Structure 1
Amino acid sequence: MAESQKRIGLIGLSAKGSWATKAHLPYFQRTDLYKITALQNSSKSSAEAAAKEYKLDGVATYDDPSSIASDPNVDIVAVSVNVPQHYDLVRPALEAGKDVFCEWPLARNLSDAEELVKLAKAKGVRTSVGLQARQNPSILKAKEIVDSGKIGKVLGTTMYGHGGIFGPTVPEGFLYALPIEAGANLLTIPFGHALDALCYVLGEVKDIAATLVNHRPELELITNDFKPTGKKVSKTAHDYVSMTGILVNGGGIVDVTYAPAFSRDNHDFHWVINGTEGTLILDGAKMGGHVQIMQPTIKLATDDSVEDLVVDKAADPSFNVGKAWDAWAGVGLDKGYTETTWDVALIRHKMIDAIYRSAESGKRENYL
């Protein structure tokens, strides 16, 4: 192993498939910057099965977060599991003084996120959060165009997406997300990723007014392979989200709405940025409005022409995630890829908390 190569203790790699399998593992298998040296799952046998399935010879396997956190052959603990488990898995790593990557959302709520960020700063460790839409080539291109002044002053922006979740049915594997307290819902995940992309391109938002609705408080339960069970389950998380506000930088109007499930017209994401000199249009097909995963097309429209902009292709979910890992190692910074620390995560948690407050009070709220 190269002297500069960082050793990863990965939590959440499943032999049966998981987000870590799709997004993190392919990157780690092709990079020389990092090496997986340890795995932790809910049981040691599960971790061993993952090591065998993916031919991760020689890795240590664990069934509890304290053990992987104390492994001297682990430099970075990477947490890639369901949101409600983040706090309990991240905290031991911080207490052990390890650098930590954690998926977005960082925690179930603002209070837990604040506690984790405070502890990370006290321990002096490096942190990264999975807001990888910032590495999406189309998002980077949009930021480049806006920053260049080609579209002039931003007058306003409208974003509409389908979150892919919380339609009329829910698979058994997603039951954990139904209580609003879990912090894993339409607002926090697809909407949250999209908001972060918007703020990365255009800057933060003030004077937020939000409406949240739970149209389907009861869903049909299906198996993970989409077969009906004949059972119904209750949901308290919202399934329709709408927010308006004003850009802190320049006063442009912001309007973002996310709907549940998928579109009926094969059109799950549409984002328009309207300026005095031009307009950017980002479009996504039927992949759900998860801009951290899917790659929208991007066009620049002026009074004289409409131009399809050429960007790198994000071939699979590991592309954006991999660029985020590269950036943490200092690679690709000259191409616009950036570190996304927990300071960013905390700002986004505060923004989401402001949305909740506005929806409850009916008043405009701020988070900066």
Structure 2
Amino acid sequence: MPKESDQMPDQKRIGIIGLSAQGSWASISHLPYLQQTNLYKITALQNSTEASAKAAAQKYSLTNVTTFNDASQIAHSSDVDIIAVSVNVPEHYKLAKPALEAGKDVFVEWPLARNLAEAEELVRLAKEMGVKTMVGLQARQNPSVLKAKEIVQSGKLGKILVTTMYGHGAIFGPTVNEGFLYALPVEAGANLLTVPFGHAVDALCFVLGEIEDISATLANLTPELDVISKDGKLAGKTSKTAHDHISITGQLLNGGGIVNVTYAGGVSRTKRDFVWEIVGTEGTLILEGPSNGGHVQMYQPTLKLAKSDLQELEQIKVEETTGFSYNVGRAWDAWANVGLNRGHTVTTFEDALLRHKMIDAIYRSAKNGTRECYV
């Protein structure tokens, strides 16, 4: 929550697309924050049907909200200043576009769109309309990531020589839940590369800077998955074209340090779902996540420092996150110009476009066996 010393802007009215009474990312991340802040007020909901929007309003005790079943209707509502799009990735473009065309400020979850072309179109439209934008790359708000950035910028590690990151993305293990079948085609843009890897590598670039001369290997090593139904039973098999293993190498653009990032599907049998080392001439920083911690935008890694003259790792104390709404809430704070003096930043559509360009470069490198640059 904002401190009393922070400048308090006028309350902004938010229309949410994708808040479900059955539970959704919006209900466990955005809603807990928005219901206890004075910076924003939820004034409208839009789902695939108006009945489901009304059910969500009732379940979460949202009074005096207008409900819609069409993106153009909520986009043109006079009761809404900001449209928040929190739905499955394939729907981002078609739901964000009417809001931009209506001149609304727009938030969209990461990835911004299914592919680079759609992301470029949304960025172009936002510029034309002169609206504010934000994308859900909330790992940048993670206190451990912010502290890592502070330590690197302080020079405590010296010149950065190499950084290695390894993670498991939880998705695309040997099974897939029925509700996630939409993500299996690589064209859907909601996969291991774009989501868990995308969030993690964005955190890496936020801390260390962008990467040049990327060489990538992508693999779909488990193209056939067991489908798990909503009641937890085996419901047959299905195939996928999205990749379940990713490896990239490159060099930091601002100093030449070597970068290695590898992500695998599923979870780690050894409970090492996220390990990130930043090695400098004067010290090494180690971030380690809990089980399922490969989603650094959701889970908080521990932070330890190894100095050349110390035998034991020094545990670095950082503020502890409180649920999935913590990082999301700090992003909303920053958009309202609150908390900027504590390192929180606004990640815009243009920032997201750079990450989409990186992902596109990874696809090209893996396909053609080339080194690719995106900056």
Whole-Å separation in 2 of the counterparts to 1:225 and 1:278? 49
Does the CA-based 8 Å contact 1:8-1:38 persist in structure 2? Answer: yes
Q: Which residue number in structure 2 is paired with residue 132 of structure 1? A: 138
Q: Which residue number in structure 2 is paired with residue 259 of structure 1? A: 264
Gaps of at least 5 residues in structure 2 are: 1-7
Q: Secondary structure at the match of 2:215?
A: strand
Gaps of at least 5 residues in structure 1 are: none
Which of 254, 263, 270 pairs up with 1:249?
254
Give how far 1:3 is off: 8.0
Which of 279, 292, 297 pairs up with 1:292?
297
1:12-51 alignment to 2 at 5 Å? 12-51=18-57
Which of 275, 293, 304 pairs up with 2:280?
275
Report the TM-score when normalising by structure 2.
0.97
> Which amino acid is 1:298 matched to?
L
Q: Which residue number in structure 1 is paired with residue 327 of structure 2? A: 320
Q: Which residue number in structure 1 is paired with residue 217 of structure 2? A: 211
Whole-Å separation in 2 of the counterparts to 1:135 and 1:278? 24
Whole-Å separation in 1 of the counterparts to 2:38 and 2:171? 36
State the Cα deviation string for residues 17-75 of structure 1 (Å, max 9, x = none). Answer: 00000000000011000000000000000000000000001100000100000000100
Q: Tell me: CA distance 1:346–1:3, structure 2 relative to 1, closer, same or farther (3 Å).
A: closer
Give how far 1:315 is off: 1.3
Q: Which residue number in structure 2 is paired with residue 360 of structure 1? A: 367
Give how far 1:304 is off: 2.3
Q: Which residue number in structure 1 is paired with residue 314 of structure 2? A: 307
Moved over 4 A (4+): none
Whole-Å separation in 2 of the counterparts to 1:186 and 1:248? 25
Which of 99, 105, 116 pairs up with 1:110?
116
Does the CA-based 8 Å contact 1:133-1:291 persist in structure 2? Answer: yes
Whole-Å separation in 2 of the counterparts to 1:241 and 1:330? 36
Whole-Å separation in 2 of the counterparts to 1:69 and 1:84? 19
Whole-Å separation in 2 of the counterparts to 1:211 and 1:118? 31
1:3-152 alignment to 2 at 5 Å? 4-152=10-158
State the Cα deviation string for residues 220-245 of structure 1 (Å, max 9, x = none). Answer: 1111343211x111100000000000
Q: Secondary structure at the match of 2:79?
A: coil
Whole-Å separation in 2 of the counterparts to 1:343 and 1:86? 16
1:239 to 2:244 alignment: yes
Q: Which residue number in structure 1 is paired with residue 3 of structure 2? A: none
> Which amino acid is 2:195 matched to?
I
> Which amino acid is 2:320 matched to?
K
Report the TM-score when normalising by structure 1.
0.98
How many residues get paired?
366
Give how far 1:256 is off: 0.1
> Which amino acid is 1:245 matched to?
G
Q: Secondary structure at the match of 1:51?
A: helix
Q: Secondary structure at the match of 1:30?
A: coil
Does the CA-based 8 Å contact 2:331-2:344 persist in structure 1? Answer: yes
Does the CA-based 8 Å contact 1:271-1:283 persist in structure 2? Answer: yes
Whole-Å separation in 2 of the counterparts to 1:224 and 1:240? 26
Q: Which residue number in structure 1 is paired with residue 338 of structure 2? A: 331
Does the CA-based 8 Å contact 2:293-2:301 persist in structure 1? Answer: no
> Which amino acid is 1:238 matched to?
H
1:188 to 2:194 alignment: yes
Whole-Å separation in 2 of the counterparts to 1:46 and 1:334? 40
Does the CA-based 8 Å contact 1:151-1:278 persist in structure 2? Answer: yes
Does the CA-based 8 Å contact 1:217-1:236 persist in structure 2? Answer: yes
> Which amino acid is 1:162 matched to?
H
Whole-Å separation in 2 of the counterparts to 1:314 and 1:78? 23
Q: Secondary structure at the match of 1:56?
A: coil
Whole-Å separation in 1 of the counterparts to 2:232 and 2:257? 43
Whole-Å separation in 2 of the counterparts to 1:151 and 1:283? 18
Does the CA-based 8 Å contact 2:17-2:85 persist in structure 1? Answer: yes
Does the CA-based 8 Å contact 1:262-1:288 persist in structure 2? Answer: no
Give how far 1:216 is off: 1.1
1:176 to 2:176 alignment: no
Seq. identity, %: 67
Whole-Å separation in 1 of the counterparts to 2:67 and 2:244? 38
> Which amino acid is 2:85 matched to?
V
Whole-Å separation in 2 of the counterparts to 1:119 and 1:303? 50
Give how far 1:171 is off: 0.6
Q: Secondary structure at the match of 1:331?
A: coil
Give how far 1:303 is off: 1.5
